[in-house]
Amino acid sequence: MNIDITSAAIATIIATITSTLVALIINKNNNKRELDNKLDSILYLALQYPYLENKEFTNNWSSKYDLSDEKSLRYEIYATLVYNYLSRFAEFYKFNIKKIEKKLAIRDWIRLHGKYWYDPKVPNENIDTYDRPFIKLVDYYLAGGNAK
């Protein structure tokens, strides 16, 4: 059996491979840009409401707050935004702890909001919502883990 590959066929194959690689790179860059924009939004909220990143406030978190307590309501939503972001960020870096820590102070952020992780308003919400690799990552940091 003799396969005759013409230069046109080779050019088509090369063009297909090239366009696929370019599309993958563009998609990765878009995903990274989206992550950066989400981080900016979260940081903007923390700038508007500094208590959201205040250790004294986060260490006193309890899911048993008064529903008219605006600060606690806001913090609950904020902490959810933080963990949603961290989950996407960790997934983007394929849960590689060293790469993640090189790009973001994830360890500090998870620990700052650890009480919320263990005590969400809806019991088991966090462990039921997030995927197993992220849950393991959070548990690793809350247990004192460190990649360095």
Domains held by the chain: number: 1
The H helix count followed by the E strand count for the chain is 8, 0
- What is the residue range of 109's domain? 32-142
Q: Provide the 3-class DSSP secondary structure of residue 95.
A: coil
Q: 17 in a domain, yes or no?
A: no
Q: 103 in a domain, yes or no?
A: yes
Q: 7 in a domain, yes or no?
A: no
Q: Give 67-97 pLDDT, tens digit per residue.
A: 899 999 999 999 999 999 999 999 999 999 9
Q: 15 in a domain, yes or no?
A: no
Instruction: Judge whether residue 3 has pLDDT over 90.
Output: no
Task: Judge whether 135 and 129 are in contact, CB under 8 Å.
Answer: no
pLDDT of the residue at 110: 97
